[in-house]
Copies of this chain bind each other. A is one copy, B any other.
Amino acid sequence: MCDHAAVKRMKRAELARRAGCNLETIRYYEKAGLLPEPPRTQSGYRSYDATHERRLKFVLRARALGFSLDEVRALLRLVDERDQPCAEARDLAGAHLKDVQSKIADLKRMERVLKEMVAQCADGTTPECPLIEALFRANGKS
């Protein structure tokens, strides 16, 4: 039990910096149960190591891919109880993929309409602002 290979310890600010997130996000994730409560120094400061960093980065990456906190929780459960998680993880990711695809479809519809509106405005031939008129007219029906 000698400790000559002591792991590197860091405080919250350094962890945030290394993971590239806001300081307070870490505390929030701890309260939300996504990250474990870290050990404390004698004076009560949080003390993190590489395992905390790894887990935080996992959460941030999943969030960046658009998983909700609940979905991240589910993924972390699979991480923590590694039995045969592959099918379940694939289903989670598959469901989320569908979400993402339908969001893309929605945004593309918006994009098309906005482009038309901007284009109509650009030629400036109509007396009224066609963009605003377009918003007053119904999308497809009265």
A65 touches B110 (CB 8 A): yes
- Confirm or deny: A73 has a beta carbon within 8 angstroms of a beta carbon on chain B: no
Find A118's partner among B58, B75, B90, B132 (CB 8 Å cutoff): B90
What bracket does the count of chain A residues touching chain B fall in? 35 or more
A111 touches B107 (CB 8 A): no
A129 touches B58 (CB 8 A): no
B136 touches A89 (CB 8 A): no
Known interface pairs A93-B118, A121-B86, A139-B61. Does A132 touch B78 (Cβ–Cβ under 8 Å)? yes
Is chain A's binding surface mostly helix, strand, loop or mixed?
A: helix
As a 0/1 sequence over residues 53 to 84 of chain A, the CB contacts with chain B under 8 angstroms (1 = contact) are 01001100110111000000001001100100
Measured CA separation A96–B115 after assembly (Å) = 10
Stretch binding the partner chain, chosen from A23-31, A41-49, A98-106: A98-106
A133: shortest Cβ distance to chain B, in Å?
A: 10
Binding site for B on A (CB under 8 A): 54, 57-58, 61-62, 64-66, 75, 78-79, 82, 85-86, 89-90, 93-94, 96-97, 100-101, 103-104, 107-108, 110-111, 113-115, 117-118, 121-122, 124, 129-132, 135-136, 138-139
